[in-house]
Structure 1
Amino acid sequence: MTLRSILRASLLALVLAAPAARAGGFSTTNVQLLQGYSFDDNWIGHPEHGKITTLTLNTFSTWEYGDSFAFADLMRRDDAGAETSSVYLEWHPRLFVNQLLGQKEPALGFIRNWGVAGEVNQGNNFYAYLGGVGFDFVAPQFWVLGLNVYYRYDQYAHQQWQISPFWTVPFSVGPVPFLFTGFVDVNGTKSFTGKSGVEIWAQPELLVDVLAPFGGPKGKLYAGTEIYIHRGFATQGDVNEVVDTAVPQAMVQWTIF
């Protein structure tokens, strides 16, 4: 796959993933550049010197009855002296039943939205399809606290489960705005010999607003770090291993709109 075809497929997926904004809706898109130097994980690869460069395209939008999040990772690495590129995409649509029913008050006093959640994962030699329920919780203004619980079917472990909390917490230290955001995916897995296990994937990010302290536009340019975490029992085809990986990556994020 050429870099041009990867970009074309990724951009097309992002465009199709974002529903048209309706009255009262919200939409945002950003681009992230990440650089890690100590990757050593059978799932993502064992690149030369542990170095992987990732360009990520993110889009999130809300509409009258739900929301949609999608991203594409374009990764470049050096494998055994040969430079290679790969692409990985996810799409997370949700339909909120409470909005369809016209419910205004939080359910049980702390569930702001609840409904049907889906997820599609697609990458080089991997796919996973998920369906279940999603929740947004009551939180302070500008915070996001949510949880999705899925039935999961993937290429290698087949019928499994997944629990996915996610968050976005803005805060300030003096005049400097920060953003703490990320997700944790906990899923069941199974080896080609039938051994069951659990995987944990997480990517927490701590970012500082670069321009705001100097009078520039807020929320436009962030810099900081993302930590790629993969732990547990991993399966890919006929390869099984216990992984315990935590890779800090330098990160820059530009919000396009």
Structure 2
Amino acid sequence: MPQRLVVTEMSHEPRKRFAEELRRLRVERGLTLRDLASLVGWDPSLFGKMERGGTLGGPEVVQALDQYYGTGPLLLILWELAVGDPTQFKEQYRRYMVLEAEALGLWQYSVSRPPGVLQTAEYAREALMAGGLRGAELEQQVDARIGRRRVLEGDDPPPFRVILSELVLRNSLRNTQAWRGQLEFLLEAADRPNIALHVLPFGTGLHGLDSTDVMFLRLPDGRTVAYVENDVSGELIEETSKVDQLQRTYDAVRDLALSLAESRSFILRMLEEVPCEPST
């Protein structure tokens, strides 16, 4: 068997390859981070973090770098691969992330926090910090979580139905401006044609999902799988009978929730209660 040809010594891991390519392009042009910042914009510390793999940055930054270096869409393609790389997630989530990217339809019930696909970067950062993450690992997980939003974007995104417990809308962030941003993002999401957002208000009584987040994925092969998560663990469920039982429970909860119009009005009222001035 012929020996495998090694084309480059650069990493085959999407996130590392993106960082390596950024550094290679800058060094080949003899630029310092400050030089690059003055030519392209943004802070030199951001470019430093991107080259070290501490953050992926946003698509606007990456597009500006592509334009400056004359690399067409190369860096943006590498960025998209890095954002969508399931290895960024902890082991128990990886198979679920692969299936989520393939799903033809999604529906979810959330107990206390917005679904990851509907979180702003500020919300994701505070939530992950509350779980103990710091430094480079924190930024990597924020990037990974925000990257999940691509599932619901694009030219032909899958339908997504989500039920938010009222607790999601009451469990605010410490930073009021960041919390306003999260509520505004939920309102924006509720206006998208592929997203149906319901609120389950307090006072509807006990139900089968009181303490459990659940996400259903309808897959191309016709199967539906579920991912359930509570405060201590998460589990991917693929056995048909168990998924069917969870779906019946979900349907019962949906029957208790507000209509789409009522839910939008509910979130808008919550937004109006948030002070416009930043927290001190």
Is the TM value for this pair above 0.5?
A: no
TM class by smaller structure: under 0.3
Which of 1 and 2 has greater Rg? 2
Higher relative strand content: 1
Using the size of structure 1 for normalisation, the TM-score is 0.24
Higher relative helix content: 2
Greater relative contact order (CA < 8 Å, ≥ 6 in sequence): 2
Using the size of structure 2 for normalisation, the TM-score is 0.22
